[in-house]
Amino acid sequence: MDRRGSLVESQSGASPSPRNPLLCPDSHMDVQGYRWVYWRVWLCRWGAVLSLGLLLILFHWRPRLAVRARCCSCPLALADVLLLRDSFGQRMELVADLEDSDWRDTVQLHREEKTLLRYYLFEGLRYVWLARKGAFCRVSVLNEDWTCNDLYSFQRGLSHLEQSSRKKVYGPNLIDVPVKSYMRLLVEEVLNPFYMFQVFSITLWMVDKYYYYASCIFLISLLSISVSLYETRKQSTTLRSMAQLVTNVTIRRSSGEEECVSSVELVPGDCLLIPQEGLLLPCDAVLLAGECMVNESMLTGESVPILKTPLPAGEGRYSSQAQRRHTLFCGTQLIQARGGSSDGGGATAVVTSTGFFTAKGDLISSILHPQPINFSFYRDATKFLFFLGVVALIGTIYSLVVLSRSNATWTELVIRALDVVTIVVPPALPAAITTGTIYAQRRLKSQGVFCVSPPRINVCGKVSIFCFDKTGTLTEEGLDVWGVVQAGQAGFSELLPDPRLLPAGPMLSALACCHTVALLEGQPLGDPLELRMIQSTGWELIEPEGDQKALDAEFGGHRVLAVMRPPAQEVSVSEAGAIVRRFPFSSSLQRMSVVTVAPGGRPALAFIKGAPEMVASLSLRETVPEQFSSILRNFASEGFRVLALGYKPLDGKTDWRTLERGVVERDMQFLGLLVMKNMMKPESGEVINTLKLAQLRTVMVTGDNILTAVNVARNCGMMGSDERVMFVHATPQTAQSTPKLRFHLGEGGTQGTMEVLTEGLYQSGISYHLAVNGKSFSALCDYFPEYLPKVLMRATVYARMAPDQKTQLVKELQKLNYRVGMCGDGANDCGALRAADVGVSLSEAEASVASPFTSKSDNISCVPLLIREGRCSLVTSFSLFRYMALYSLIQFCSVLVLYTEKTNLGDLQFLFFDLVLVTLLAIVMGRGGPSEEVHPRRPSASLLAVPMVGGLFLHTSLIVLGQLAALFITKSQDWYVPLNSTKTGAANLPNLEDTSVFALSGYQYIIMAVVVTKGYPYKKPLYHNVVFLCILLILFAVMTWLVLCPGPVFSRLLQLNNIPDMNFKLLIVALAALNLLTCFVLELLIDHGLLSCRLLRGNRPSKKKYKQLDLLLSDCPSWPPLNQALSSAQYTVIGLS
């Protein structure tokens, strides 16, 4: 397509190679093309028939194998089937059948030629074939080159034919969440390897005449499938109702007519007319005329409505992120629109993205297809199943050898060998991983913390560094005006506490007019800082109502957006000002500006407000007082929020609608400083102290002044009062100089301290923190990559950071193997919140695109809660995983011991163990809540660590010894009668061997639940889990009753031998108590480092880069070198003699 979205290239052609890796932003995946080979297809069909469908099940599990078996590789342009691999490198291959449709493009229409549109859908996104690139690219690439002027050209609207053509390319404007039928869900669920294994196991048990057990497991599986299907479909339906937004909208056609159409018909390029009362936007659009007040809490978590202004015209390329203040995002609520038509009402926008390519589509896609989590716990779970598979193989070989000696038939040999596999690999093991997460998610929700990515709860337990935004996160959102300082020829004036006392002039007008506050039903809405600023002047905000032309005429015929009128008592000395153009605040530009006119259209003034350094750089040098730096440093070091203001007269004949921002915001006259006090939230200091005691690093990332940030860091406890601050100053390469890096001491550095530091002794007595601003951070990343990791290890304050720099910081910390947490209000932190391992947005919304976690509290008290819940969830998942593995190993040992004795457990014995004991314990053992404190040591996340695997081996050894001891004690009794050697398996029941092993193994299931259920320091002690404790006591009592006096009824049901010797029974109970004691002591020794890697392999350095760096810096007292200019290694000149 050309810039206006018309297709001008042929849709056919050959790809240069059969394999075309597309790892650019257009596609984000590796694509391979295949064509059907019909003889292979027929061969696979015959194979499926002969294998009774097993081949089709294998193809369902491994799509890549299915494609390679039935197809041959070919160029993408000729492909019938594509194999896709996404940018995360997932091994799960997805097959996409191409869809072809006839489509006539607007350029070739007069020739009556048809071209073939080839495309496929992947995760809701449409990819079209572009012969020019020889690749399938996201359809959004067709409008990525649109400039601002291109978008303005769409104001005339699209014709019906153009709109229809575009819809065939872009597809309908729907975020369609698929809701599968119950029958399809059932088939997919049953074909899951977990349920296929269940079907195999149930069939095997039925053949082996375990009818009761097989029937119960079948009913439980059926119930589990039913619940799973219901929940899956319910979630899909709920998400679909949240995602689908179909409404009627008004668009402009190329003929000039306005037409009401369904939002499903919208395509990029449509001219959208927004009514004055606003609407819930069904697409992404860019605002071209008028202003809109928008609530974006669904996307950013920011509850304060934002004023959107028209996009400036120009040849620059449009970007929805770079021009956020001019972009209206799908799913956001447009509260009101005005100034976009001749009568002053409504607004005009052009559609830029539809469907899953919108901001809301991105949110839904992140829920449907979450980014895979690189977490060792989840990786090791699969590997551990293979480990159990090896154990099963050993058990199978042993059982074959033992049973073959007992003259068992081949049928019995096969059944018994396969039965061992169903025992040692428990189907419920994968489900045990999620149990702790489910409990934690419920507890978090009850405390106002919502999670859209439950697996990340476990990741919270491994966070090692937490980054915090400042304003609205650590400090209060609102600011109190402390005073103003005017600039003049003699320098700065004294601080004037009340701006109302300012004389009439540019400074007072700048405070009253330089803002983006708007009225909604008579109430001012906007940034809290700007609201306080206006309130401090006492001026009144008025917006056009009714007859717009009358107000325009009052101010020289200019289109008026808002009017600021002085108080009645000041009318004689101050003139009202009409705002005729706004350039909203941009985090990257660190400023905003307005153009105002006085009654009659004169004089025209431009006002600017923003970061003092930025405003001073845009002002005439002679108007900036010499004391600027020292005054700013004094205010910032005391923790004040400082803004600078400037102004300049403009030519009244200028057309404000076409005026460029760069022209307005240069050669300003510096007016002075607005000083505001930002109060610390009372919870911030307590939370930071809690995290420091837990040895979690805390970092501040803010867009504010570096000295203000340092002051706040000291006040909240990130920096101690006795700790020094060193500022990092890095400069980029220029035409006159090479990049330089310097470290210099901050405030409070006495001569004595300076000498100590320069001698390199601060590591031994004086702690230090580094503070970096955004410009230095960018220079570090670009020119000093060799020093960047060291700076990251010691930096606590990052100031004047733009949103993309915050994201880059998170990624750089992750490169050092940190598990990074990020907490912000969501407004300017969206990228960093999503990039972090754990992102927490302080918002009223239950889910937002900003982060995986959303907290309804307006302070950071949710951070320790998340860490505690994450650790509790991780430890619970660990405990349940170990318990399910030990349950399998207990039963595995029991069966092998009894196989050796030519018998086996009975039908109802299996049922009693699995349902009454294990299932009941597994359900309630994860209910314990998190500890009240955050312990300095993080829990382990590796299932294959030496303590984990070694602990399982040692516990299994004690289990086997206990069961063998019970068996040998039984055989040593005077009344012992050997079992009937002519029978095998369950046919030999009841017998003394089985009864003794049943008794002790029953205790072992309960004992292991006690042993693996960990409490301190990550969970509350065991006695807090009252339900679990009660069930433990009940089950201990039940087992003791079954051992001591089961009665004839239960003896017959469970096929137990009635042993009259009470002393023997008490000996079995005592043996179980000894087993409990030994396992409990063993677990305590393991917890205290019995199997610690340090004991086994010495004190090896950590594999984590940040720990290695920390050790290196501790042994390097000469770093950082103070007041020395360091050169970049990339620009070092090496002289050769």
Query: b/e for 905-944, b at 16 or more Cβ within 10 A?
Result: bbbbbbbbbbeebbeebbebbbbbbbbeebbeebbbbebe
Which one, of 619, 355, 653, 651, lies nearest residue 510 by Cα?
Answer: 619
Which one, of 82, 84, 85, 86, lies nearest residue 97 by Cα?
Answer: 82
Q: How many CA atoms lie within 13 A of 497 on its CB side?
A: 0
The residue assigned the tokens 């006695």 is 1023
Residue 657 backbone dihedrals phi, psi, to 5 degrees:
-70, -25
How far, in Å, CA of 179 to CA of 182, rounded? 9
Report pLDDT digits (tens) over 277-318.
888 899 999 999 888 888 887 666 566 788 888 888 888 888
Higher-confidence residue: 489 or 700? 700
Of the ranges 299-313, 564-578, 605-619, 845-859, the best mean pLDDT one: 605-619
What is the overall mean pLDDT for the chain? 82
pLDDT at 1062: 92
Burial of 568 by CB count in 10 Å (0-12 exposed, 13-18 middle, 19+ buried)?
A: exposed
Amino acid at 577: G
Cβ 158 vs Cβ 267: under 8 Å? yes
Amino acid at 85: R
pLDDT at 366: 74
How far, in Å, CA of 275 to CA of 291, rounded? 11
Chain centre distance of CA 46? 46
Q: Which two tokens stand for residue 369?
A: 């297809």
566 φψ region: left (φ > 0), alpha (ψ -120 to 50), beta (else): beta
Query: b/e for 259-296, b at 16 or more Cβ within 10 A?
Result: eeeebbbbbbbbbbbbebebbebbbbbbbbbbbbbbbb
How far, in Å, CA of 709 to CA of 702, rounded? 7
Check whether 16 has a pLDDT greater than 60: no
Label residue 1065 by pLDDT band (50, 70, 90).
Answer: very high
Residue 420: strand, helix, or coil: helix
Cβ 619 vs Cβ 668: under 8 Å? yes
Label residue 224 by pLDDT band (50, 70, 90).
Answer: confident
**Secondary structure (DSSP) of 187-226:** HHHHTSHHHHHHHHHHHHHHHTT-HHHHHHHHHHHHHHHH
How far, in Å, CA of 267 to CA of 611, rounded? 39
Chain centre distance of CA 155? 38
pLDDT at 1093: 55
Which one, of 462, 494, 665, lies nearest residue 583 by Cα?
Answer: 665
Q: Which two tokens stand for residue 1129?
A: 């290694």
pLDDT at 139: 87
Check whether 806 has a pLDDT greater than 50: yes
Higher-confidence residue: 587 or 717? 717
Cβ 391 vs Cβ 890: under 8 Å? no
How far, in Å, CA of 370 to CA of 88, rounded? 11
How far, in Å, CA of 195 to CA of 201, rounded? 9
User: Would you call 469 a catalytic residue per the annotation?
Assistant: yes
pLDDT at 290: 85
> Which residues, 6 or more positions from 1109, have their beta carbon under 8 angstroms from its beta carbon?
789, 790, 793, 816
Percent of the chain with pLDDT over 70: 88
Check whether 43 has a pLDDT greater than 60: yes
Higher-confidence residue: 573 or 238? 238
Determine if the peptide bond prior to 25 is cis (ω within 30°): no
Q: Where are the beta strands (DSSP E) in 651-737?
A: 669-677, 697-701, 724-731
- Taken as a whole, the chain contains a residue count of 1137
Query: b/e for 419-438, b at 16 or more Cβ within 10 A?
Result: bbbbbbbbbbbeebbbbbbb
Active-site choice (150, 270, 380, 469): 469
Residue 184: strand, helix, or coil: helix
Which one, of 725, 766, 729, lies nearest residue 747 by Cα?
Answer: 725
Determine if the peptide bond prior to 1120 is cis (ω within 30°): yes
Which one, of 192, 40, 204, lies nearest residue 48 by Cα?
Answer: 40
How far, in Å, CA of 1120 to CA of 579, rounded? 50
> Which residues, 6 or more positions from 288, have their beta carbon under 8 angstroms from its beta carbon?
151, 152, 155, 310, 311, 348, 349, 350
Question: For the ranges 246-260, 521-535, 537-551, which has the lowest average pLDDT?
Answer: 537-551
Compute CA distances 20 → 84, 121, 124, whole Å.
11, 18, 22
Dihedral angle of Cα 654, 655, 657, 663, to the nearest 10 degrees: -30
Compute CA distances 944 → 473, 780, 951, whole Å.
39, 38, 11
Report pLDDT digits (tens) over 769-802.
999 998 899 999 999 999 999 999 999 999 988 8
> Mean pLDDT throughout 673-698?
90
What does DSSP assign to residue 561? S
Check whether 739 has a pLDDT greater than 60: yes
Residue 970 backbone dihedrals phi, psi, to 5 degrees:
-60, -45
Q: Which two tokens stand for residue 101?
A: 């449709």
**Secondary structure (DSSP) of 644-674:** EEEEEEE-TTS-TTT--HHHHTSSBEEEEEE
For residue 683, the surrounding DSSP H or E stretch is helix 682-693
For residue 592, the surrounding DSSP H or E stretch is strand 591-597
Handedness of CA 951, 954, 957, 959 (dihedral sign): negative
- What are the CB-based long-range contacts (under 8 Å, 24+) for 549-552? 551/578
Question: For the ranges 15-24, 125-134, 138-147, 303-312, which has the lowest average pLDDT?
Answer: 15-24
How far, in Å, CA of 736 to CA of 560, rounded? 47
Predicted TM-score (pTM) of this structure:
0.78
How far, in Å, CA of 1090 to CA of 1076, rounded? 19
3-state secondary structure 17-33: CCEEEECCCCCCEEEEE
pLDDT at 618: 92
How far, in Å, CA of 796 to CA of 809, rounded? 12
1099 φψ region: left (φ > 0), alpha (ψ -120 to 50), beta (else): beta
Which one, of 158, 173, 169, lies nearest residue 104 by Cα?
Answer: 169
pLDDT at 267: 93
How far, in Å, CA of 837 to CA of 818, rounded? 9
Cβ 1022 vs Cβ 1029: under 8 Å? yes
Label residue 88 by pLDDT band (50, 70, 90).
Answer: low
How far, in Å, CA of 838 to CA of 755, rounded? 42
Report pLDDT digits (tens) over 617-645.
999 999 999 899 889 888 888 878 889 99
Burial of 33 by CB count in 10 Å (0-12 exposed, 13-18 middle, 19+ buried)?
A: buried
Label residue 745 by pLDDT band (50, 70, 90).
Answer: confident
Cβ 650 vs Cβ 665: under 8 Å? no
Report pLDDT digits (tens) over 1010-1019.
999 877 889 9
Label residue 1076 by pLDDT band (50, 70, 90).
Answer: very high
β-strands 480-488, 853-855 pairing:
unpaired
Residue 1092: strand, helix, or coil: coil
